Amino acid sequence: MSGNPRPVVFGCFTYQLSESERKFFADCRPLGLILFQRNCRRPSQVKDLVAQFRDAVKNEDAPVLIDQEGGRVARLRPPEWPITYPAASFGKLWQRDKAKAVEACFQQGKLIGAELYNMGITINCAPVLDRTCPETHEAIGDRSYSDQPDAIAELATAYAEGMKQAGVLPVIKHLPGHGRAKVDPHKQLPTVVCTEEDVLADAAPFMTMAHWPLGMSSHIVFKNIDPQKPASLSQGVIKKIIREKIGFGGFLFSDDLDMKAISGMLSDRAHQALAAGNDAVLFCNGNLQQMTEFAARMKPMTDEAYERWLHAARTRVTHPASFSTLMAQDHLDKALAEFAPAEAQG
């Protein structure tokens, strides 16, 4: 087990790695790196940053992640990168023309995947499978495809398939569902009071995509399942709901442990998340001192988790077929013309 990487994906501070960051990543050997808008100036610079990280950890296949959902959650933005559309736009189109919406969603996934692949980014933390409810907080808002589970499942699958064909692995999120949360976990801990049956009804799209290899758990307390801990820290939610009832058997990331929804010492947060059944955790703020503290008590990834990671990694298309991005973008823009340009930015 000692040869396995540490089960954490860290952020970094800016557009390139400092010498201190290089040394930290070399010594720590985290599973991967996640990029944010603060790290992305232009395509060539992002490609160099990705290479710097992989050189530091001495692993040319080390995963590099990003959140490029489309719409307002897009770390890569114009003018250096194309406009992308929020999930809700595809859901609206689905109401009128299901086949057209599914094809457009596939094209967006493929286009985003191609952009990421060309810079060396191998994992996109998308699609969002959360179901819109009357109480859904704007933190999800138009990031959700629909209030209809069948629409979410079809559209999210198309988006994921497009990305996969372009050489990038998708992450289904936020297990077991974020739609009933009334507050933003970036700012405070959401608590949801509903039956287990309601949770599973909302989770129907996750059940449809449970065979996909990567998922992310949410920082939401489901009072009638575990009244004390959010899903990301709850063995009951992860084992009983995510693993058994939903049937997700893939590699599970926690959502970012730097969110205000989670309290306590950084190392304790990681310990709780891993003990609950996450395979790896995200810690994204790029603060080197905090990352050092975070990693100090973190052991290498378990063999079981590492095997799940290797299985996921083997599903990635390493040499995707080329395609006309201009034709794909034209197809996408025409399909969603009535929602652009304002809604294209979310």
The residues annotated as belonging to the active site are 186, 255
Q: Burial level of 142, CB count in 10 A (0-12/13-18/19+)? A: buried
Structure tokens belonging to residue 149? 């589970």
Structure tokens belonging to residue 280? 């790896």
Classify 307 as helix, strand or coil. helix
Strand partners, 169: 123
Torsional sign, CA 22, 255, 142, 214? positive
Which amino acid makes up residue 331? H
User: Are 90 and 105 a contacting pair, CB within 8 Å?
Assistant: yes
Phi-psi region of 75 (alpha: psi -120 to 50; beta: other; left: phi over 0): alpha
**Alpha-carbon distance 22 to 7, whole Å?**
18
Q: Which string of b and e fits 84-113 if b means at least 16 CB within 10 Å? A: bbbbbbbbbbbeeeeebbbbbbbbbbbbbb
Strand partners, 170: 124
